[in-house]
């Protein structure tokens, strides 16, 4: 019978070690910071969108047009035009006539005709008020005044003004003030006939120095048109 061999002169082995303790956990890593360039790109995109939106909104705004200097369209120019100084020279104001008003996006124009003295035979004054809402009437104003024969320059009325006495038979005053043109004209009838018969118009009206009351009334009208 074979028995288990004996270990002679050998060294006894110690009992094996058993790991019973759990190793400590590794420290957790701090969270990784976000990528700053992503935030920068996002901010740039937002800024671009806002800028583009602003440009679009600006492009949608209507053009405000030129500064009208407080001038406005009027329905009845005769109510605004007092013509008191002219009335002192021509007599009592007896009749008014208003033309239809033209009021378009680019221009507004109306006129008034006032008779003094006698309805059928008295002198009359026509007033035309033109408000340019888009274009500048300045570059052509002096040329047009010359075309009408209104050549005498008048200072202190609007930006430019010209007067013509029409050879002593009347008077015409043309004024430019910003986007506005005013035209005042006096007409004195001669050789009037009613029903085919001549009518006595009385003594001739003295129109010497008529440019002074015309200028005074024009200044008052310009002020009234801005209020």
CB neighbours of residue 32 within 10 Å: 6
pLDDT, residue 75, reads 93
* pLDDT tens per residue across span 179-206: 999 999 999 987 776 677 777 767 778 8
Statement: residue 21 has pLDDT above 70 = no
Confidence of residue 162 (pLDDT cuts 50, 70, 90): very high
CB neighbours of residue 170 within 10 Å: 18
pLDDT, residue 131, reads 98
* pLDDT, mean of residues 133-155: 94
pLDDT, residue 204, reads 77
Beta bridge partners of 113: 97, 126
Statement: residue 37 has pLDDT above 90 = no
pLDDT, residue 1, reads 44
Alpha helices in 91-182 (DSSP H): 138-147
Inter-residue contact 113 to 179 (CB < 8 Å): no
Which has the closest alpha carbon to 90: 140, 113, 124, 132? 124
Beta bridge partners of 97: 113
pLDDT, residue 17, reads 47
Which has the closest alpha carbon to 81: 37, 116, 111? 111
pLDDT, residue 205, reads 83
Q: In the chain, what percentage of residues exceed pLDDT 70?
A: 70
Which has the closest alpha carbon to 175: 134, 131, 115, 208? 131
DSSP characters for 56-78? HHHHHSPP--S--TT----S-HH
Which has the closest alpha carbon to 138: 166, 83, 177, 100? 177
* pLDDT tens per residue across span 40-89: 445 554 455 545 555 454 455 566 789 999 999 999 999 999 999 999 99
Inter-residue contact 145 to 151 (CB < 8 Å): yes
């Amino acid at each position: 019978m074979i028995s288990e061999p004996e270990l002679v002169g050998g060294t006894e082995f110690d009992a094996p070690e058993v790991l019973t303790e759990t190793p400590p956990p590794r420290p957790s890593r701090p969270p990784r910071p976000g990528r700053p360039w992503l935030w920068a790109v996002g901010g740039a995109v937002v800024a671009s969108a806002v800028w583009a939106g602003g440009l679009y909104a600006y492009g949608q705004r209507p053009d405000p047009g030129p500064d009208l200097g407080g001038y406005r369209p009027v329905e009845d120019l005769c109510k605004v035009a007092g013509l008191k100084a002219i009335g002192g020279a021509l007599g009592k104001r007896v009749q008014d006539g208003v033309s239809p008003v033209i009021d378009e996006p680019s221009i507004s124009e109306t006129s008034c005709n006032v008779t003094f003295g006698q309805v059928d035979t008295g002198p009359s004054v026509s007033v035309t008020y033109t408000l340019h809402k888009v274009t500048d009437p300045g570059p052509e104003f002096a040329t047009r005044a010359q075309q009408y024969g209104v050549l005498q320059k008048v200072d202190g009325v609007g930006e430019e003004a010209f007067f013509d006495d029409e050879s002593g038979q009347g008077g015409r005053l043309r004024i430019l003030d910003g986007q506005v043109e005013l035209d005042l004209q006096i007409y004195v009838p001669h050789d009037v006939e009613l029903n085919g018969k001549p009518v006595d118009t009385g003594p001739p009206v003295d129109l010497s120095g008529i440019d002074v009351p015309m200028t005074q009334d024009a200044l008052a009208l310009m002020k009234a048109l801005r209020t």
